[in-house]
Structure 1
Amino acid sequence: MTSQQTSVATSADRIIALRLSSITLPLSTPISDAKVLTGRQQPMREVAFLFAEVTTAAGDDGIGFSYSKRAGGPGQFAHACEVAPAVIGEDASDIGKLWTKLVWAGASVGRSGLSVQALAAIDVALWDLKAKRAGLSVGKLIGAHRDGVRTYNTSGGFLHTPIEQVIENAQRSLADGIGGIKIKVGQPDWRTDLQRLTAVREALGEDVPLMVDANQQWDRRTALRLGRALEEFGLVWIEEPLDAYDAEGHAALSSALDTPIATGEMLAGVGEHVRMIDARAADVVQPDAPRIGGITQFLKLSTYVEHHQLDLAPHFAMEIHLHLAAAFAGNDPWVEHFDWLDPLFNERLATHDGRMWLPDRPGLGFTLSDQARAWTVDSADFTATS
């Protein structure tokens, strides 16, 4: 390739436009987990999303998103707007370079939490664009180890839901081809948790993979006592039994119980996960790509998870995490199935035989619906000047 041809290619790959949109997704029913029952949070009635849409001079485009529950949506949008000009005019293929440029553009607010969550939407959009240009799904572009990933449903098992409805929801999920069921625990009276779990296990049978999630609301003594009581249910894991940052407590619990311990969804950067892994605080690592800075950062972490021979089960955002779990080189991972995001997109993911399957559509395989556009509460456009 001549220098002139190189220049033309670089010009074609140049980012000429970036649109950021703050979109609020209303939930049909207020959602309650153990954090609500302990009085630490109010029921969740909506989810705030930050969408990024990137366009190159050649007309290629990509879409990505981050999100926040209960608080932080406007902050993510504001921070993304501050640093977004840093990518205009840059080569869209240089995703790692652009992540570093963005994080330095907002360096005064650090490299974890809201600051990197704002960057995640742009990072994911760049990966979507790159995969579309290659005519591949994001999972295939990275290098898939499997075409389908084990999947379990969470959205049907929240604490506000009567146990009869939880069971009906679980049976419907299994009939739809989903492989496992997770229910929430953390009732003020722990006996209620055991009663609900017993009812679910009896209804579904011994062979259905079953998980529970305490959403960080037990203390160490309660977690150990209940963890021992839960051993008889043959759970795939006990999720977030303790505060997300209690690495020592999680490590002790993991050592004391046969049931695997899962945690990590609330950690807000790769470094926080590394400290948790080094402390042997989890058997199942549950990173959230939008919360740790996007796909670029997730890939760094997944290598560390594989190196330590731990299991991987990304949190929420199955539209992104399906691709990343498919590309995980370690043990067969799990992806969390939520139907909450369905109204945002025109496409759906396929589930059958207990697994969620990579779409054959290029990129992430999703386009924003008209309804999502109608739920936009703020937007900003950044364009090249020449």
Structure 2
Amino acid sequence: MTQTTTSSVPSGDSIAWVRISSCYLPLANPISDAKVLTGRQKPMTEIAMLFAEIRTRDGHHGLGLSYSKRAGGPGQFAHAREIAPALLGEDPNDIAKIWTKLCWAGASVGRSGLAVQALGAFDVALWDMKARRANLPLAKLLGSHRDSVRCYNTSGGFLHTPLDQLLVNAKASLDRGIGGIKLKVGQPNGKLDIQRVEAVRKHLGDDAKLMVDANQQWDRPTAQRMCRVFEEFDLVWIEEPLDAYDFEGHAALAATFDTPIATGEMLTSAAEHDELIRNRSCDYLMPDGPRVGGITPFLKIAAQAEHAGLMLGPHFAMELHVHLAAAYATEPWVEHFDWLEPLFNERLEIQDGRMLVPTRPGLGLSLSEQARGWTREQAEFGTQP
């Protein structure tokens, strides 16, 4: 009897070189949401980006990203540097196998949070490479349902923005062709939240698509009261009214009110999303690809969400999520943030309230010289072919 053994050296192409970069994107103005006004966090002044560039022996390449806000950037880079050597010699097509290998390489620090966020950059890079090799946009490789996705703007609606400027920002976003406006709420004085939402609704009219986001700052009684008040404003959703891990509390709100409940962005694994879905804790699921560990776990989450009949609204990183949202069965929303635009040479297009899926291969992205200029630390592994 012939015994078959599995070799660690693939017969085809293999990963020959990896570079990781820690890049800090400065924000023009300090950003404040409800977490700042309640004293739990400081205003955000920069975003720590983790980029992974991977090349194979045959010369194929991919670009991936992850990120951290306010804290965690150095830790993500440090963990990525520890596990990156495990990529060398692997067949780049074996993405699920590689994800598991990298996860086990850092198993002592867990299978969620910073550990998987670090490996998420590698996972995205491998999917980008796979789509480039097929000469397809990532959305097409995954099996796209549409060539554009509804999009809404968040960056103009933060709580540090005065009301008069908020009205200007909201109208400008709609005039630009963005499909919806999200307003931050969750202030200690709920009356101020109501005044701001009421003013924007009146300014934009009844047909404008509005969302609100409390960033987890309400307790259960406050969430009940605020959700009841906000019913009259015909919102697309109320986001994170409670702590991200209060699955039962979110489920009670989703069952009680007509306005959809949205949550999920702060969860950092497929297992945590499984608990949220199992409890029917929301109407809109908001997974974040880099936060859950990349595209591989995101696709598992999306499959569960589709089976449960949930709507989808991925959080942040529109440059990645426009592809993933295009591959979701029912019509999703993508969050429009122009913050990351200086990092790339390419731009996403907006038209008639929708974000167009890029037709370039892979993610359709390349790092700008500005991104290189903001890079504070790099590490390389293997030999560049």
TM-score by length of 1: 0.96
Please give the alpha-carbon distance, in whole angstroms, between the structure 1 residues aligned to 2:126 and 2:279: 33
| 1:45-87: CA deviation from partner (whole Å, max 9, x where unpaired) | 0000100000011111100100000000000000011111111
1:247 aligns with 2:247: yes
1:42 aligned counterpart, secondary structure: coil
Please say if residues 54 and 61 of structure 1, whose CA atoms lie closer than 8 Å, have aligned partners that are also in contact.
yes
1:22 matched residue in structure 2: 22
Q: Map residues 128-143 of structure 1 onto 2, 5 A cutoff.
A: 128-143=128-143
The code of the aligned residue for 2:338 comes to: D
Q: Map residues 256-267 of structure 1 onto 2, 5 A cutoff.
A: 256-267=256-267
1:58 matched residue in structure 2: 58
1:124 aligns with 2:117: no
Please say if residues 18 and 52 of structure 2, whose CA atoms lie closer than 8 Å, have aligned partners that are also in contact.
yes
Q: Measure how far apart 1:385 and its partner are.
A: 10
2:84 aligned counterpart, secondary structure: helix
1:112 matched residue in structure 2: 112
2:76 matched residue in structure 1: 76
| 1:116-169: CA deviation from partner (whole Å, max 9, x where unpaired) | 000000000001111111111100011101111110000000000011111111
Please give the alpha-carbon distance, in whole angstroms, between the structure 2 residues aligned to 1:14 and 1:111: 26
Please give the alpha-carbon distance, in whole angstroms, between the structure 1 residues aligned to 2:165 and 2:148: 28
Please give the alpha-carbon distance, in whole angstroms, between the structure 1 residues aligned to 2:86 and 2:63: 18
TM-score by length of 2: 0.96
1:216 aligns with 2:252: no
2:300 matched residue in structure 1: 300
Please say if residues 14 and 56 of structure 1, whose CA atoms lie closer than 8 Å, have aligned partners that are also in contact.
yes
1:358 matched residue in structure 2: 357
2:204 matched residue in structure 1: 204
Please give the alpha-carbon distance, in whole angstroms, between the structure 2 residues aligned to 1:129 and 1:176: 32
Instruction: State the identity %.
Output: 66
The code of the aligned residue for 1:146 comes to: R
Please give the alpha-carbon distance, in whole angstroms, between the structure 2 residues aligned to 1:187 and 1:57: 54
2:380 matched residue in structure 1: 381
Q: Measure how far apart 1:264 and its partner are.
A: 0.3
2:96 aligned counterpart, secondary structure: helix
2:366 matched residue in structure 1: 367
Q: Map residues 294-333 of structure 1 onto 2, 5 A cutoff.
A: 294-329=294-329, 331-333=330-332
Please give the alpha-carbon distance, in whole angstroms, between the structure 2 residues aligned to 1:298 and 1:82: 23
1:191 aligns with 2:191: yes
Please give the alpha-carbon distance, in whole angstroms, between the structure 2 residues aligned to 1:320 and 1:91: 23
Please give the alpha-carbon distance, in whole angstroms, between the structure 2 residues aligned to 1:187 and 1:104: 41
Please say if residues 55 and 384 of structure 2, whose CA atoms lie closer than 8 Å, have aligned partners that are also in contact.
no
2:339 matched residue in structure 1: 340
2:339 aligned counterpart, secondary structure: coil
2:159 aligned counterpart, secondary structure: coil
1:141 aligned counterpart, secondary structure: helix
Please say if residues 10 and 89 of structure 2, whose CA atoms lie closer than 8 Å, have aligned partners that are also in contact.
no
Q: Measure how far apart 1:289 and its partner are.
A: 0.5
2:229 matched residue in structure 1: 229
The code of the aligned residue for 1:77 comes to: F
1:366 aligned counterpart, secondary structure: coil
Q: Measure how far apart 1:220 and its partner are.
A: 0.4
The code of the aligned residue for 1:139 comes to: A
Please give the alpha-carbon distance, in whole angstroms, between the structure 2 residues aligned to 1:136 and 1:205: 40
Q: Measure how far apart 1:10 and its partner are.
A: 5.4
Please say if residues 12 and 56 of structure 1, whose CA atoms lie closer than 8 Å, have aligned partners that are also in contact.
no
Please tell me the root mean square deviation across aligned C-alpha atoms, in Å. Answer: 1.4
Please give the alpha-carbon distance, in whole angstroms, between the structure 2 residues aligned to 1:11 and 1:377: 37
| 1:173-224: CA deviation from partner (whole Å, max 9, x where unpaired) | 1112110000000122111111111110011111111000000000100000
Please say if residues 34 and 217 of structure 1, whose CA atoms lie closer than 8 Å, have aligned partners that are also in contact.
yes
Please say if residues 12 and 57 of structure 1, whose CA atoms lie closer than 8 Å, have aligned partners that are also in contact.
no
Please give the alpha-carbon distance, in whole angstroms, between the structure 2 residues aligned to 1:371 and 1:47: 14
Q: How many residues align?
A: 378
| 1:282-312: CA deviation from partner (whole Å, max 9, x where unpaired) | 1110000000010011001100000000000
The code of the aligned residue for 1:293 comes to: G
Please give the alpha-carbon distance, in whole angstroms, between the structure 2 residues aligned to 1:370 and 1:151: 28
1:50 aligned counterpart, secondary structure: strand
Question: Structure 1 residues 49-58 or 169-178, which shifts more?
Answer: 169-178
Please say if residues 50 and 121 of structure 1, whose CA atoms lie closer than 8 Å, have aligned partners that are also in contact.
yes
Q: Measure how far apart 1:12 and its partner are.
A: 5.7
| 1:332-364: CA deviation from partner (whole Å, max 9, x where unpaired) | 000000010011011100111111111111110
| 1:83-127: CA deviation from partner (whole Å, max 9, x where unpaired) | 111110111111111001110111111110100000000000001
Please identify runs of 4+ aligned residues in structure 1 that moved more than 4 A. Answer: 9-12
Q: Measure how far apart 1:11 and its partner are.
A: 5.8
1:149 aligned counterpart, secondary structure: strand
